[in-house]
Structure 1
Amino acid sequence: MPNVGREWEQYDEVEVDATPEQVWEAIATGPGYDSWFMGRTELDPGEGGAVRTDLGGYVMESTITEWEPLRRFAFRGDESPDGRFIAFQFFIEGRERSGTTLRLVTNGFLPGDDWEAEFEAMRIGGAMYFATLVAYLTHFAGRTATPITVSAPAVPYAVAVFERLPEALGLAAEPAVGDRTRVAPDGLPEIDGVVDFVNRDAIGIRTHDALYRFVRGFDGPMVVTHHVFAESVDRKEAEQAWRAWLARLSA
Structure 2
Amino acid sequence: MGHHFELRKDVELAATPEQVWEAIATGPGIDSWFMGRTEVEPGEGGRTRLTMAGHVEEATITAWEPGKRFADRTEPAPDGTFMAMEYLIEGRERGSTTLRLVQSGVLGDNWETEYEAMAVGWDMYLGTLAAYLVHFPGRTAVPISAFRPDAGGPDRVWAAVAGAFGLRGSIAEGDRVRFTVEGLPPIEGVVDLAGLPTYVGVRTADALHRFLYSGAERGDALVLGHHVFAAGQDPARAERAWQDWLAALPVG
Return the TM-score normalized by structure 1: 0.91
Aligned residues: 246
* 8 A Cα contact 2:181 2:242, kept in partner: no
Partner of 1:192: 188
Partner of 1:127: 123
Question: Among 7, 10, 33, which residue is 1:10 paired with?
Answer: 7
Moved over 6 A (4+): none
Q: Find the aligned partners of 1:62 and 1:162 in 2 and give their Cα distance.
A: 35
**What is the SS of the residue equivalent to 2:85?**
strand
* 8 A Cα contact 1:87 1:108, kept in partner: yes
Question: Among 45, 48, 64, which residue is 2:45 paired with?
Answer: 48
Is 1:201–2:198 an aligned residue pair? yes
Report the alpha carbon displacement of residue 163 of structure 1 after superposing the two structures with TM.
4.1
**What is the SS of the residue equivalent to 1:97?**
helix
Q: Find the aligned partners of 1:97 and 1:130 in 2 and give their Cα distance.
A: 21
Q: Find the aligned partners of 1:203 and 1:78 in 2 and give their Cα distance.
A: 33
Is 1:146–2:125 an aligned residue pair? no
Partner of 2:226: 226
What residue ranges of structure 2 are gaps of 5+ in the alignment? Answer: none
What residue ranges of structure 1 are gaps of 5+ in the alignment? Answer: none
Is 1:157–2:152 an aligned residue pair? yes
Identical positions, percent: 52
How do 1:1-251 residues align onto structure 2 when only pairs under 5 Å count? 3=1, 5-112=2-109, 114-152=110-148, 154-155=149-150, 157=152, 159=154, 160-199=156-195, 200-218=197-215, 219-220=218-219, 221-249=221-249
Q: Find the aligned partners of 2:120 and 2:13 in 1 and give their Cα distance.
A: 22
* 8 A Cα contact 1:48 1:63, kept in partner: yes
**What is the SS of the residue equivalent to 2:95?**
coil
Return the TM-score normalized by structure 2: 0.90
Report the alpha carbon displacement of residue 102 of structure 1 after superposing the two structures with TM.
1.6
Q: Find the aligned partners of 1:110 and 1:149 in 2 and give their Cα distance.
A: 25
Report the alpha carbon displacement of residue 119 of structure 1 after superposing the two structures with TM.
1.8
Q: Find the aligned partners of 2:66 and 2:211 in 1 and give their Cα distance.
A: 32
* 8 A Cα contact 1:158 1:222, kept in partner: no
Q: Which moved more, 1:5-14 or 1:98-107?
A: 5-14
Q: Find the aligned partners of 1:184 and 1:223 in 2 and give their Cα distance.
A: 18
* 8 A Cα contact 1:203 1:214, kept in partner: yes
Report the alpha carbon displacement of residue 93 of structure 1 after superposing the two structures with TM.
1.7
Q: Find the aligned partners of 1:194 and 1:55 in 2 and give their Cα distance.
A: 27
Cα 1:156–1:32, aligned 2, differ >3 Å: closer, same or farther? closer
Give the counterpart letter for 1:226 in structure 2.
Answer: H
**What whole-Å deviation, never above 9, does each CA across 1:192-248 have from its counterpart, x for those lacking one?**
111111222111111111000011135222111000011111111111111111111
* 8 A Cα contact 2:184 2:241, kept in partner: yes
Q: Which moved more, 1:154-163 or 1:193-202?
A: 154-163
